[in-house]
Structure 1
Amino acid sequence: MKTLANQTLIYDEDCPLCRVYTAGFVKAGMLDANGKKPFSQMQSCPYIDVSRAANEIALVDTKNGKAIYGIDSLLAVLGNSFPWIAKISKFAPVHFGLRKVYSFISYNRKVIMPNPKNTTKHVECLPDFNFKYRIAYLIFATFLTAITLHAYAAFLPKIAGNNLATELVLASAQIVFQAIFLFKYDVRTIVNYAGNLMTVSLFGAILLTPMLIAGEFFHINEFVGTNYFLLVATIMFIEHFRRVELLGLPKILCATWILYRLLFLFFLF
């Protein structure tokens, strides 16, 4: 790989994805040994806009004292080793789409993968709260979850007759139901929790996908399908509990998370 010298990516050390791809750039030789620095160590860097760097990863030219941000930072690194990427990304519609996808992920990264408890007291790289991208994420996660549940219902004969609309209601109404128990909190807290809630649902949908793929090649009987579904639900509950703790929200949300599903099954049958 062609090394982009004298360039340093300022990454969010609490973001697993950010750690992986920045380390990958260095390991692949696309950046030199000093090609990545955690955000918490660059607060005093005169070359970067700290507020913008929290939302969009910054690439600092340490020789010329300039910085670029977001998708342009990543394209600069990739384009240096793969000129065709640089060429394609200059096409306006492509660049626009990449910029939107990057923003969608960046502004939602803390509900996709919340920060662990800050035991070292370092400065956290927290993106601004963007209501538009958060709602877009909720819609995206709801539809993907509903589509997966609808497909998986084939392995659960007792509810196999449900249509996609029913699954959409199941996936989306839980946000409203859980929000009832957060009525004392501000809108931002509720929407942030909703993002985490739907990430758990999306996580469950991802875990169901291998069984859906297996079902294309093998017969999956009701016993296997049901028990795998219960296993996934258990994993989802554990993950939901973990996130509620990280967010410092009342544990009753874990009980109501179960209650909602029991009520839905009651009305379904």
Structure 2
Amino acid sequence: MKTLPNQTLLYDKDCPLCNVYTSGFIKAKMLDNNGRKAYCDLTYEEQNFIDLKRATNEIALFDNKNKTVIYGIDSLLKVIGNSMPWVEKIGNLKPIKFGLKKLYSFISYNRKVIIPSKEDQTQTLQCVPDFNYKYRYIYILFATLITSIVLFKFGKLLNIIPESNIYREYLMALGQIGFQFLFISKLKFEKQLNYFGNLMTISLMGSLILIPVLILNSMIDIPELVLLFWFGLTVMIMLFEHIKRIKLLELPMVLTATWILYRLLVLLLILFL
């Protein structure tokens, strides 16, 4: 790969996703060894020419010599385009760039609920994205839709479960949010949405674990006992993930108990109604 010299990407040190792709650029030699820097480690000089607020939402790429800065999808296109010019050319086409900007914002504003981490409160500079209601609502609806489709497809493989439809699965996924709301209604609205974002990420994660089985079953018939085992294993993984995220969000552990209770109630309704 062709290295882009004298350029440094700012990244959120507390974001595992940001850590992975910025270190990936360095390992791929797209950036030199000094090609990334944690937002919290900015010098006073760098703070004078970088838009600190914008950099929390859009990754900043600054020129160490000229002290110029570009942000967001432009930063990524420049880094990748230096090695693969065709990517930058295609990415800068108006309709494609419009879509890339929306996708970037979708991920950036939701990165703390996609892969959460405990923030270091001792840091003076915190790389925390603005709370964007629109993108949080879109993310929750997106995760709900994917979860509903996968569960509908998986449920069709299990003979012990009465035949379902996509609308029932969607209502059950949304019902989970409504049920948990009963136990966090006194929290600030933003904290509620943070929890719901994490909640739906867990559901989405479970769906992603089920998808390989759906693909494999389209090629060979998998015994129902194996399917049930895989589904049970998926639920256990989701349970441990819920416990981990509750601790990170510093929310009451009773939410894990109500999370389990809702699933048991739904199962009983499906089997006996």
Coarse TM-score class (shorter-chain normalised): over 0.9
Give the letter aligned to residue 20 of structure 1: V
Instruction: Tell whether 2:63 aligns with 1:64.
Output: no
Residue 158 of structure 1 aligns to a residue whose secondary structure is: coil
| Contact persistence 2:60–2:75 (CA under 8 A) | yes
- For 1:143, which of 132, 142, 145 is the aligned residue? 145
TM-score of the pair, normalised by structure 1: 0.96
Match of 2:8 in 1: 8
What residue in structure 1 maps to residue 198 of structure 2? 196
Q: Where do residues 45-56 of structure 1 align in structure 2 (5 Å cutoff)?
A: 45=46, 46-56=48-58
| Aligned counterparts, 1:146-161, within 5 A | 146-161=148-163
CA distance, structure 2, for counterparts of residue 42 and residue 176 of structure 1: 42
Q: Helix, strand or coil for the counterpart of 1:65?
A: coil
Partner of 1:38: 38
- d(CA) in 2 for partners of 1:158, 1:231: 18
Alignment of 1:259 onto 2:252: no
Unaligned stretches of 5+ residues in structure 1: none
| Cα distance in 2 for residues equivalent to 1:160 and 1:8 | 56
Show the counterpart of 2:169.
167
Residue 24, structure 1, aligned to residue 24, structure 2: yes
CA distance in 1, matches of 2:244, 2:43: 30
Shift of 1:217: 1.9
Letter of the 2:33 partner, please give it: A
- Structure 1 position 183, deviation (Å): 1.2
Q: 1:117 to 1:10 in 2, by over 3 A?
A: closer
- Tell me, yes or no, if structure 1 residue 237 matches structure 2 residue 255: no
1: CA distance between counterparts of 2:218 and 2:118? 38
2:220 to 218, 221, 230: 218
Q: Secondary structure at the match of 2:184?
A: coil
Coordinate RMSD, CA, aligned: 1.4
Q: Distance between the aligned counterparts of 1:199 and 1:120, measured in 2?
A: 28
For structure 2, the residue ranges without an aligned partner over 5 or more in a row are none
Q: How many residues were matched structurally?
A: 269
Kept in 2: contact 1:155–1:220 (CA 8 A): no
Query: Percent identity among equivalent residues?
Result: 52
Instruction: Indicate if the aligned counterparts of 2:156 and 2:164 stay in contact, CA closer than 8 A.
Output: no
For 2:102, which of 100, 103, 111 is the aligned residue? 100
Residue 117 of structure 1 and its aligned partner are, at CA, apart by 5.4
2-structure distance, mates of 1:130, 1:120: 25
Aligned partner of 2:92 among 90, 114, 123: 90
Q: Under a length normalisation based on structure 2, what TM-score does the superposition of the two structures give?
A: 0.95
Aligned partners of 1:14 and 1:115 also within 8 Å: yes
Which SS does the other structure have where 2:244 is aligned? helix
Runs of 4+ in 1 over 6 A off after TM superposition: none
